[in-house]
Amino acid sequence: MSKTLINFVHANGFPVSSYQTLFNYFPEQYQVVGHEKYGHDEKYPVQNNWQCLVDELIHYVTQQLELHQQEQIIGVGHSFGGVISFLAACQQPQLFKGIIMLDPPVISGTTAIAARYLKKTRLVDKFSPAGKAKTRRTHWPLGSNIERMFASRPLFKNFDPRCLRDYVSHGIVARNDQLELAFSAQVEANIFRYMPDHLSSYKNKLQVPATLVYSKHAPVFPVSFFKKFIKLNPNINLESASGGHLFPLEYPEDTAKLITNLIQSF
């Protein structure tokens, strides 16, 4: 009996292997696949509204379905990954059984109009995480204890220790006689700069079952943003999860159980 195939798309800046602890909690009947880093292939550059990254996702999913001899896949995406999973499912619905979006940055209405104009100015770096990403420290001396260094930072302080270890193991590489970020800070900044502002144009385009899960304690946007977005597509259900925006890496076991229950509801 073939396993149910899950395609997991990472959040911006986090290689998909950072989620290995989460994947370990899925039942045996599920098999997880995922492209390691979006935006790093020159054939799929980071451009406005992320369309090339959606194309990269569609290409990867098509390859995986052929490889595993299956007709459809479950799309799960965290943050950035949730948005491009939504767009891919709208554009190529025959590839997906359903999608699950984990705290995705979805903007619509007047917020999207404002973002559209902001992206044309240098102010986009001030009003988006791109400003922090472009100035992020990207290298350290060989032998540095990166895990201990990161554990005290606000971004990582609530991580499950195993997830932090996964991130350091796969997000930091030794090259050029130093330790470096595996995920390009420039790519990360560009992804933030070009956040989609056209999601309203996909009204009623999603034809597969879907759930949007927002974080209870520190969602990427106020809950009202998510409610406004799901009105565009009645196929999307709204759920919540404990933790902050990075809850899949803070509560991997609970998140795996939630995803498993949502897949069974499909």
CATH number at residue 62: 3.40.50.1820
Owning domain of residue 39 = 4-265
Total tally of structural domains belonging to the chain: 1
- What distance in Å separates the CA atoms of residue 41 and residue 56, rounded to the nearest whole number? 9
266 residues of the chain, pLDDT tens digit each = 578 999 999 999 999 999 999 999 999 999 999 999 999 999 999 999 999 999 999 999 999 999 999 999 999 999 999 999 999 999 999 999 999 999 999 999 898 898 888 888 887 777 677 777 777 888 888 989 999 999 989 889 999 999 999 999 999 999 999 999 999 999 999 999 999 999 999 999 999 999 999 998 887 788 999 999 999 998 899 999 999 999 999 999 999 999 999 999 88
Closest CA to 67 of 91, 110, 35, 103: 35
Residues 88/58, Cβ–Cβ less than 8 Å: yes
Instruction: Give Dmax (Cα) for the chain.
Output: 53
pTM tops 0.85: yes
